[in-house]
Amino acid sequence: MSDGSRLYRVSVSSRSAINRTGLRPGLSGCRVGRDNLLSLMKNCERRLPTASMIEPASMVFVVDDNPSVRRAIKRLIGSLGLQVELFGSTQEFLSSNRPDMPSCLVLDIRLPGMNGLDFQRQLSEAGIPIPIIFITAHGDIPMSVRAMKAGAVEFLTKPFRDQDLLDAIHVALERDRLRRQRESELVALRERFASLSPREREVVGMVVLGMLNKQIASELGITENTVKAHRSRAMDKMQAQSLAELVKMAGILWIPERKFSSTKAG
């Protein structure tokens, strides 16, 4: 029998990998040709996500006073290709020069000096919105409730499953990535709004309040055509494709109901 026609039995582990890729299930125990098997396994390799695909340019900080725990967590997280920085205390973490990238904090509850829950509150008060995953060998329900109410991603009791920690890290990094994206979009929106002239801002404020061009013209003592020109330039600068989009942008910026100026200059 030639190599091309030789038959092979697919292992259970191979079947599991194949099933995770979305290929046809039920291959366990069936006999397939060598070429088909190689093709299936190549599809598995192409479809199974790599660490770089899952968490690009991310950092995981670990604060735990137990060196062996820190090393074990670093090996686990590092196996996915993620960057990891270890700290033995909260003060070491605060004193570090942390990179500006999506990140999360794996934080022990019992620490010398300041416990993890108090440190969570300190970070919040300092305006450091890093997602936190708590780990502890001495947790209880009130403690976990307090942590989660304060915004923790997860509260894991030692010993915990490796996959539970990895899942929590994935959620935390994605949360931080989305927060950074929203903040970046808001900064860009504010810059566009700042580029408007004082008159264009007035017109935008009135448009957002639902005023018609004729009403705006009467209020500002200018012609309707001038209102239309200001409105058009404002929408171009704000990169708004429609009035509805302009109103949405104004809502994001929290543009208040303006006190109409008595200035009549066009």
Q: Is-contact 170 54, C-beta < 8 A?
A: yes
Distance, CA of 97 to CA of 88 (rounded, Å): 15
What pLDDT is attached to residue 114?
87
Give the highest mean pLDDT range of 1-5, 131-135, 243-247.
Answer: 131-135
At residue 215 the predicted structure's pLDDT band, cuts being 50, 70 and 90, is very high
Mean pLDDT in residue range 136-158: 92
User: Among 38-42, 110-114, 134-138, 182-186, whose mean pLDDT is lowest?
Assistant: 38-42
Locate 178 and state its tokens.
């989305």
Residue 173, pLDDT > 90, answer: yes
First-residue to last-residue Cα distance in the chain: 90
What pLDDT is attached to residue 11?
36
Q: What is the pLDDT of residues 174-213, one digit of tens each?
A: 999 999 999 999 999 999 999 999 999 999 999 988 999 9
What pLDDT is attached to residue 113?
82
Side-chain half-sphere CA neighbours of 106 within 13 A? 34
Locate 158 and state its tokens.
């030692």
Residues 6+ apart with CB under 8 A from 169: 55, 60, 77, 82, 104, 106, 133
pTM: 0.66
Question: In the chain, helix, strand, coil percent, each to 5?
Answer: 55, 10, 35
Domains and CATH numbers, the chain: 7-48 (no CATH), 52-182 (3.40.50.2300), 195-253 (1.10.10.10)
One-letter identity of residue 153: V
Q: What is the pLDDT of residues 29-65, one digit of tens each?
A: 444 455 554 454 455 444 434 444 444 589 999 999 9
Distance, CA of 31 to CA of 154 (rounded, Å): 44
What pLDDT is attached to residue 79?
87
What pLDDT is attached to residue 107?
97
Residue 264, pLDDT > 50, answer: no
Mean pLDDT in residue range 55-81: 90
Locate 72 and state its tokens.
């074990």
